[in-house]
Structure 1
Amino acid sequence: MARQQVRFCRSFDGAKIAYAISGSGPPVVMMPSWLTHLEYQWRSVAWQPWLEALSSRYTLIRYDPRGCGLSDRNVDDLSFDSWVQDFGALVDALRLDRFSLIGICQGGAVAVAYAGREGDRISNLVLYGTYARGRNRRTTIPLEPEKAKVMLEMLRLGWGQEDHAFMRSFATQFQPEGSIEHLRSWCDLQNAATSADNAVELTRVMFDVDVQEEAARITCPTLVAHPDRDAVAPFEEGRLLAQIIPNARFLPLNSPNHFMLPNESAWAAFLQELYAFLPQPAAEAGPVAGLTTREKEVLHLLARGLDNHQIGAQLNISEKTVRNHVSGIFAKLSVDSRARAVVAARDAGYGS
């Protein structure tokens, strides 16, 4: 996977916001979800499918929200409006006149608010597993406000304690079909992202979000995708969002995982729709242009010196499947050895 470069910009009130850039191609900004840490996220097994899928085709821009990760944590203003203004400061600092925007979970609400106000700058909007209404605003869903109170109390009691019931519950909701490594990565993220006090305050603000009015003003092409058994953001909230945004396309995904796993058919279906929806990268030249997306992923890891077993582990596929991809790569690149494939890959910019 391409390397990331972490930098900082200054927001409206002087708060320093950390952001990371990776990959090359048309600019795509991925909003932060509930809690993030740019460096930890880059190494997280749970986030890796998203980062690889986007960095391999686009200039991917991510950032830590105020109060989290590498951004300033000790700030006076943790309001929803400050989140929207932080994002505006970031795209202004990067001089992004036109870009695609991806909003996941909490970040989707911020993306909706910004798109409703500054829609002319967004070429394409993708909203995944997100909502227009926080839990305290979901009066049509039974017990949602009550669940919000319970979660805040569990946050106060169990933050950062790996063996606490909240930590396990939190991790399981995000990826109920994930491995122990996936579940542990979500627990580790809590420790890395922020303090218990900040987590409670950020969550409280998130529960009071309502961006339905902004959603109705969105004019850019919008794709709303949502796992149909999502335990973090209810499926009906994604459906409602697609109904409110004019001409939005709704993509239900057959998965119980808020963050889908790379071996799910729903993940492959989502990537196919995502790549078709976002601006197309410039066509690659030479024999590499003939490789499939998966073959390019294998080639990238091969160029980094990984063996078949390691490549399989990274991509969550069997060694036999890796061998088949390697054989296909050899044929398309007209090479007869791993060493020559690595040379061709690095000449094309892979493996950095």
Structure 2
Amino acid sequence: MSSGAPPQEVRFCRSADGTRIAYAVHGSGPPLLLTTCWLSHLEFDWESPVWQHFLRALGDIATVIRYDERGFGMSDWDVTDFSLSARVADLTAVADAAGLDRCAMVGMSQGGPVAITYTVQNPDRVSRLILYGTYGVTHHTEETAELERTFQQMIKVGWQRPDSTFRRVFTDLMIPGATEEQAGWLDALQARATSTDNAIRSRAARADADVAALLPQVAVPTLVVHARGDRMNEFADGRELAARIPAARLVTLDSGNHIILADEPAWGVFVDEVSAFLAGERISAPSTPAALRTLTDRERDVLRLVSQGRDNAEVATELALSVRTVERHLTSIYTKLGLSGRSARAAAVARMLTG
């Protein structure tokens, strides 16, 4: 697998309370919005032997919009509100800023309750929902409370230590089947992704993110994907989601990893199932106004110059891009607008002029 990162555009928007949220766009095809999990960094993830295969595979079948959660990665760290409602507001801000009137969505890990809430609150804006390694119901017992107190103390003591002794505990829960390179990268990401205080506050807020009452109200096609041996969010969590969400389908991955690794047989199953589930998004082109709103700002710039009669080289010079980058933008534009063949360029221009 190549280590170079494909082109992505990093942008910023403001959530309802003013928190600055960083989001990125890459890939081509119908839009796919990822509700973020707690451990991410928009740029660092592309170097990852743990996440890179996810980003590349999803980008091959969709235009992926992902973001760093408040308090993490490239988003604002100086925040105190990590409530579910604040996180849903962040997701809404990203969807609005990216011009997503309607799209498919992936709720990963702790991002699941956020995706579920947004889907129920905005049924016309979500076409399909994928819930991966996540949960919707929190089960509080004395045992889970004691375990959470232990984790909180470990974060307080060891999150920013130069050695990764304490962080390795979380790594082993997420990817027990990792190589030392993969485990070491995830150890490092934890300290790089956020501060100790944010890790503690956000984890405490997640313990209250119960959306059990919303599950019967999810009214879009839903795919639940969960590893049988997941230690972060147990398989029972995924099974419960599939049972409570009307007509949801459960796919069981034969793995003990919360994050499926590229060399596992389960990875091929994940890619095949997600691709098949999203195939319906690619069958027909969306209406012209909606399609145009899925274009990134850079793609709009490219299309605007093309509509003025500029060729690829002239567009590249005007926007300080390489010709190859312009070609990639045009390919993405054609895919989003549902265009193909020799007439695609003229049809794209016509859509812009009439949209």
TM-score, normalised to structure 2, is 0.76
The answer to whether structure 1 residue 48 and structure 2 residue 73 are counterparts is: no
Match of 2:83 in 1: 79
Match of 2:98 in 1: 94
Match of 1:127 in 2: 131
Q: Structure 2 CA distance, aligned partners of 1:128 and 1:174? A: 13
Q: Structure 2 CA distance, aligned partners of 1:346 and 1:10? A: 29
Match of 1:68 in 2: 72
* Offset of residue 145 of structure 1: 2.2
Match of 1:237 in 2: 237
Match of 1:198 in 2: 198
The answer to whether structure 1 residue 33 and structure 2 residue 37 are counterparts is: yes
Match of 1:313 in 2: none
SS at match of 2:160: coil
Letter of the 2:121 counterpart: R
Tell me, yes or no, if the aligned pair for 1:162 and 1:187 is still in contact at 8 Å: no
Tell me, yes or no, if the aligned pair for 1:103 and 1:109 is still in contact at 8 Å: yes
Tell me, yes or no, if the aligned pair for 1:24 and 1:55 is still in contact at 8 Å: yes
Cα distance change on mapping 1:87 and 1:347 into 2, 3 Å: closer
* Offset of residue 47 of structure 1: 0.3
Tell me, yes or no, if the aligned pair for 1:125 and 1:222 is still in contact at 8 Å: yes
Letter of the 1:263 counterpart: D
Pick the aligned partner of 1:16 from 7, 13, 20. 20
Letter of the 2:157 counterpart: L
What pairs with 1:219-230 in structure 2 (closer than 5 Å)?
219-230=219-230
Letter of the 1:214 counterpart: L
Q: Which of structure 1's runs of 4+ aligned residues deviate more than 6 A?
A: 345-348
What pairs with 1:1-352 in structure 2 (closer than 5 Å)?
2-134=6-138, 137-139=139-141, 143-279=143-279, 349=328
* Offset of residue 95 of structure 1: 1.9
Letter of the 2:272 counterpart: Q
Letter of the 2:68 counterpart: D
Tell me, yes or no, if the aligned pair for 1:26 and 1:279 is still in contact at 8 Å: no
* Offset of residue 192 of structure 1: 1.3
Cα distance change on mapping 1:267 and 1:21 into 2, 3 Å: same
Letter of the 2:72 counterpart: C
Q: Structure 1 CA distance, aligned partners of 2:84 and 2:22? A: 18
SS at match of 1:56: helix
Letter of the 2:214 counterpart: E
Q: Structure 1 CA distance, aligned partners of 2:172 and 2:209? A: 24
* Offset of residue 179 of structure 1: 0.8
* Offset of residue 196 of structure 1: 0.1
SS at match of 1:199: helix
Q: Structure 1 CA distance, aligned partners of 2:282 and 2:269? A: 22
- Identity, % of aligned pairs? 41
Size of the aligned set, in residue pairs, is 287
TM-score, normalised to structure 1, is 0.77
Structure 1 unaligned segments of length 5 or more: list them. Answer: 284-344
Structure 2 unaligned segments of length 5 or more: list them. Answer: 284-323, 333-355
* Offset of residue 348 of structure 1: 8.2
SS at match of 2:124: helix
Q: Structure 1 CA distance, aligned partners of 2:246 and 2:19? A: 34
Letter of the 2:259 counterpart: F
Match of 1:291 in 2: none
Deviations 1:162-192 (A, max 9, x none): 5353211111111111111110111111121
Deviations 1:85-128 (A, max 9, x none): 11011111222111010011101111111112112211110001
Match of 2:286 in 1: none
SS at match of 1:278: helix
Tell me, yes or no, if the aligned pair for 1:226 and 1:252 is still in contact at 8 Å: yes
Tell me, yes or no, if the aligned pair for 1:34 and 1:106 is still in contact at 8 Å: yes
Match of 1:304 in 2: none
Q: Structure 1 CA distance, aligned partners of 2:199 and 2:44? A: 17
Letter of the 2:235 counterpart: F
Q: Structure 2 CA distance, aligned partners of 1:165 and 1:193? A: 17
Q: Structure 1 CA distance, aligned partners of 2:201 and 2:124? A: 32
Q: Structure 2 CA distance, aligned partners of 1:169 and 1:251? A: 27
* Offset of residue 346 of structure 1: 9.7
Q: Structure 2 CA distance, aligned partners of 1:346 and 1:115? A: 34
Q: Structure 2 CA distance, aligned partners of 1:231 and 1:218? A: 26
Cα distance change on mapping 1:30 and 1:225 into 2, 3 Å: same
